[in-house]
Amino acid sequence: MTKVCIFGLGYIGLPTAAMFAANGVEVIGIDINDKIIHTLINGGIHIQEYGLAAIVKQSIESGFLKPTFEPEPADAFIIAVPTPFYEDKRADMRAVAAAAEAIVPHLRKGNLVILESTSPPLTTINLLKPILEKSGLTAGKDFHLAYSPERVLPGQILKELVNNARVIGGIDIASAKAGQNLYATFVKGDIVLTDATTAEMVKLMENTYRDINIAVANEFSRLAERFGIDVWEAIRIANLHPRVKILNPGPGVGGHCISVDPWFLVEAAPDLTSLIHSARQVNDSQPAYVVRLVLKALGESLSNKKIAALGLTYKQDVDDLRESPAVETARLLAKHGVRVVAFEPYRPDAQFEGFETSGSLEGALVDADLILILVGHKQFQELTPDYVKQISHARMIVDSVNIFPISIWQSAGFRLIRLGVGKS
Ligand code: SAJ
């Protein structure tokens, strides 16, 4: 296969496009957002991801990657557009359907169509196939159709795209094999073939499993506070057991994957998903839990108090703000009447409804009464008591991600309150 059309130049589509282009495949990269297309054409990039800017620039300069709005006939079509949810948590599949419709006029015999976007079970067969067959061609007979979930971790996307095992679920064996043939261009990990619905479930199960594991860690943190112990110490010791791997509590679960995907299963089979549903509710209520911790620390009078909220992205050392529990926490806190000034080093210019932001760490810290750590960015891990003392009179810290060593900060005169620590 020498020419591929990729729909969606976001966190997955763009790195995938660049990997194909870097390996000599002609890539037509399609996006509906003209800011993205123009940024790319002009040598820039709209995503911060380690190593990505260089490989994208090189691919565009070499002519192998062409960012544009319109698809062209190609050997393969890959759909990597977002699948968010509506307010009521139902999957919003409009972008997938629109990409499929855009493929129809260009679909030829022998083509391969692959869906990468995380989707509810049966999407490939029940949503994608009928749209593509409007072309007059039959899936499985005239063209190949497969689902191949992206499974890369933001922050390590390029490495994981190449080295992770890649699942390819075909609507038949020939479709799965065509997918294998395509991804073997750059994938060094195992390529595992299965059917389309199994591949859809694999992706949803992976992220749901992680969500539930984080939910139990969050519930453990609440129990630890009630019973006067340090959850971080308890988890460390429990994880010495050879078959236990508890994840970390925190302000909640964000991002466009783990906080979204389990809802696809709840929507598809509400009668079978009470555990999955509860885990989502536990993780979604975690910002309110952190807020309670802060309010308790501040005491009675909240007006005239300023909180420096450090970190707004959905996790450490990425620039992605989607579904971020840190943003939700800052917003909830501000609703209680305290002044919240947040600083996000990866998005210093971002603005939010409901609370203030500062373009610099100093701007957030100055005049603050309490420092709230919401994301464990490396920059915050490196903060020292001496530095903070120079800038701020705040001597109270609420650390929701456990990045500040208690002994160092307490001996420097700070009151450090950590999520999940009853003794504090
Ligand atoms: N989090 C915790 N505690 C933890 C680990 C994570 O509270 O112990 C929080 C993070 O802070 C973040 C959220 O969970 O808010 C999700 O972060 P993550 O690092 O667990 O996962 P994502 O969303 O960045 O990427 C996940 C990955 N899936 C799994 O690890 C099973 C990745 O491999 C997927 O490709 C990606 O979802 C996706 O696109 O679906």
- What average pLDDT does the segment 112-117 reach? 98
Q: Which two tokens stand for residue 314?
A: 């959905």
Query: Closest residue (by CA) to atom 38 of ligand 1?
Result: 257
Measured from the CA of 12, which atom of ligand 1 is nearest?
Answer: 39
Q: Tell me the mean pLDDT in the region 17-39.
A: 96
Could you state, in order of their start, the residue ranges of all structural domains in the chain? 3-189, 261-418
Whether the predicted pLDDT of 424 surpasses 60: no
Q: Which atom of ligand 1 is nearest to the CA of 160?
A: 33
d(CA 5, CA 26): 9
Query: What does the pLDDT read at residue 111?
Result: 98
Contact between 381 and 355 (Cβ < 8 Å): no
Q: How do residues 219-236 score in pLDDT, each as one tens digit? A: 999 999 999 999 999 999
Active-site residue, from 5, 257, 306, 315: 257
294 Cα to the center of ligand 1, angstroms: 25
Say which DSSP state 139 is in. B
Q: Which of 6-15, 51-60, 415-424 has the lowest mean pLDDT?
A: 415-424
Indicate which residue of 5, 66, 129, 203 is catalytic: 203
- 53 pLDDT higher than 80: yes
How far apart are the CA of 210 and the centre of ligand 1, in A?
7
207 C-beta closer than 6 A to ligand 1: yes
pTM over 0.75: yes
Domains 3-189 and 261-418 agree in fold: yes
Least confident of 85-94, 218-227, 389-398: 85-94
Indicate whether residue 342 lines ligand 1 (CB < 6 A): no
Q: Identify residue 407 by its one-letter amino acid code.
A: S
Which residues 6+ apart lie within 8 Å of 37 measured at CB? 9, 31, 67, 68, 69
Give yes or no for residue 116 CB within 6 A of ligand 1: no
129 tagged catalytic: no
Q: Which CATH class name applies to 261-418?
A: alpha beta
Q: 3-state class of 341 per DSSP?
A: strand
Residue 203 appears among annotated catalytic residues: yes
Q: What is the mean pLDDT of the chain?
A: 96
- Percent of all residues in the chain with a pLDDT value above 90, rounded to a whole number: 93
How far is the C-alpha of 250 from the C-alpha of 19, rounded, in Å? 34
Average pLDDT over residues 205-224: 98
pLDDT for the residue 1: 77
C-alpha 286 to ligand 1 mean position (Å): 16
pLDDT at residue 236, as a whole number: 98
* Å from CA of 221 to ligand 1 middle: 19
Which pLDDT does position 398 carry in this prediction? 97
Measured by CA distance, the residue closest to atom 35 of ligand 1 is 151
Which has the closest alpha carbon to 307: 215, 174, 398?
398
With beta carbons less than 8 A apart as the criterion, state whether 247 and 401 touch: no
96/119 Cα distance (integer angstroms): 9
For the residues of 177-202, what is the DSSP string, one character each? HHHHHHHTTT--S-EEEEEHHHHHHH
Which of these, 419, 333, 335, lies nearest to 375 by C-alpha position?
A: 419
Query: Which single residue is written with the structure tokens 């192998």?
Result: 64
pLDDT digits (tens, 9 = 90+) for 167-192: 999 999 999 999 999 999 999 999 99
* CATH superfamily name and code, 3-189: NAD(P)-binding Rossmann-like Domain (3.40.50.720)
pLDDT confidence bin for 3, thresholds 50/70/90: very high
CA of 252, closest atom in ligand 1:
7
For 337, the token pair is: 């009447």
Give the position, in ligand 1's atom list, of the atom nearest the Cα of 283: 7
- Kindly give the distance from the C-alpha atom of residue 335 to the centroid of ligand 1, in angstroms, as a whole number: 28
Q: What is the mean pLDDT of residues 210-220?
A: 98
Residues 306-360: pLDDT tens digits? 999 999 999 999 999 999 999 999 999 999 999 999 999 999 999 999 999 999 9
| Strand 112-115 to 76-79 pairing | parallel
Assess whether the C-beta atom of 284 lies below 6 angstroms from ligand 1: no
Which one, of 217, 341, 395, 239, lies nearest residue 289 by Cα? 217
Residue 276 pLDDT greater than 90, yes or no: yes
pLDDT of residue 250: 98
Quickly state the pLDDT bin for 301 (edges 50, 70, 90).
confident
pLDDT class of 140 with cuts at 50, 70, 90: very high
